[in-house]
Structure 1
């Protein structure tokens, strides 16, 4: 008999406890004694921490809704990792314990306040292909995280970090919106790529049409196939460019990182996406050195070690342990 999975009654007890602690820790009258009790409960079993994090995600989703919003009503969702949640019992507990409102969940769906499904995907050392509940398909790059909520009037994706290639199921009355940093990409059915690192975002359109904004507004700039839109958090509008070189932008889907005559200043955000600790530049002059090459995305750490062999640079370590690139300044010529 397999005892690795808890029996249903134990599942329910953990879910109920997680909902209770999520409510109490967010209450204004939560005491220090309760906080200590929560820490003891969480440390007692690894499942407690996992269930609490799942409940917290629902709590955070609910916090974005109007305070008159009715109960949450999620459909169970499947995820490509073991982080898949038992969303139906979680949602029920969250609805009763967290929101404690009398209206039925279908009212929230009809009003467009609440989603009828929620999915959360996260990758680490390998790429993954996933299917969203609306039928859309997504390829996730290494070290990426994505959330999907299906509302009555729109399909909403948040790219928390990393990179994703979308093949969106067409639905002209149900727009598909990808949020990254403070901007968004709005489509009804198309194929496109979104890359996000820290506060930088780049959208590459392959097929169809998308509307890209950088400041959270519903308007924006329409891209055609082969176009890219780039922006940083806080930019008033994205920077547009024509780029038919999909081999470079989408090479990650084949596990490749293509650096095509980029300055180190341009290349580092792309390289750092695959590193545990970011590579840094010693100065502006180092950032002007150019680099080219094709590398394996699973072996970018090796790329860092080989840079002094192919570029006029040497490596040092900063106090926080990150690697710093320093240019080698040629000795002055003697007259």
Structure 2
């Protein structure tokens, strides 16, 4: 195999190897020797890394495909493999064979288009293959898959503002955390940090569920309404947004903290930080903070906190800055 030109057989061999390593590294019984062998293979040729990343994209799509029905006949005993591993292998074949891909599309198993977008240091505007417009906040990662029965975005982390192309027969679904947001055409914002999700509706209507495994389409939001949920919530919390709501100021590069308790402010701040701020104890979370901040400069916020709040900073063993309340002065006699 040469560095400059690969034969079709050599290219196919790399694709097969990438599929093999993708399945092995996600297997529970993957050994340390196998992981070392993968690292050696991964570094051996630039195309190995490229094909492996492409295979991870397929693995991502396969996560939401229907699980296969159990076979009626007793199968020959083999080493156990997850449904998702079989799906990845099937997806590789389907993407390589137009007829299989067409069949997978008609069955609603495979998308006819797949897009992956990230935004790191700047707000990014993107257009999906269905014509929908998205604005991605800093440190955002999402994918879009166009299936026969629905358009599907998976928000892996971060925040995005959606202007969805209207199509009542082809719903648009955003998966964020354990829940999902279902629309046909509207404008809304989805923010996610760790297991917390917040949905703000600007125009149209959406259905929000806090757990996509639960039956039903969830609760309906109208304009100027907000939904919040986190891990374990049976239903999202619904509220009205006030006229001075500042949750969308990120689109102009600002984070506005309107006299928020640190408990509420830190998730908004931490999603921009490599090392999230921590609280020394629960009482520290009641200290309030306000101000307007440039989202690109929030890494400087930690060092400035002792100048504006009655706190001091320490570091935990992971290197995270920890906010501690200043000890109160004893009363003078």
- Whether TM-score is above 0.5 comes out as yes
CA deviation digits over 1:106-165, x for unaligned, max 9? 111112111111011111111100000000000000000001100111001110000000
Determine the structure 1 residue equivalent to 2:204: 208
CA deviation digits over 1:227-264, x for unaligned, max 9? 10001012000111111346511000000000001000
Distance 1:246 1:135, change over 3 A: farther
Determine the structure 1 residue equivalent to 2:16: 19
2:133 to 120, 131, 137: 137
Distance 1:209 1:102, change over 3 A: closer
Determine the structure 2 residue equivalent to 1:191: 187
Separation in 2, partners of 1:16, 1:202: 44
Determine the structure 2 residue equivalent to 1:88: none
2:258 to 260, 267, 277: 260
Distance 1:102 1:119, change over 3 A: closer
TM-score by length of 1: 0.83
Determine the structure 2 residue equivalent to 1:238: 236
Separation in 2, partners of 1:305, 1:62: 43
Q: CA deviation at 1:320?
A: 0.8
Distance 1:61 1:246, change over 3 A: farther
Q: CA deviation at 1:24?
A: 5.4
Separation in 1, partners of 2:259, 2:231: 26
2:166 to 158, 161, 170: 170
Q: CA deviation at 1:26?
A: 2.6
CA contact (8 A) 1:172 1:189 kept: yes
Unaligned runs of 5+ in 1: 1-5, 70-90
Determine the structure 1 residue equivalent to 2:116: 120
TM-score by length of 2: 0.84
Determine the structure 1 residue equivalent to 2:298: 300
Separation in 1, partners of 2:32, 2:172: 43
Determine the structure 2 residue equivalent to 1:45: 45
Determine the structure 1 residue equivalent to 2:59: 59
Q: CA deviation at 1:12?
A: 8.1
Q: CA deviation at 1:48?
A: 2.1
Count residues with an aligned counterpart: 308
Unaligned runs of 5+ in 2: 70-87
1:95 to 92, 101, 115: 92
Determine the structure 2 residue equivalent to 1:287: 285
CA deviation digits over 1:174-200, x for unaligned, max 9? 000001011011100000000000000
Distance 1:277 1:154, change over 3 A: same
CA contact (8 A) 2:254 2:293 kept: yes
Distance 1:324 1:171, change over 3 A: same
Separation in 2, partners of 1:67, 1:201: 27
CA contact (8 A) 1:154 1:175 kept: yes
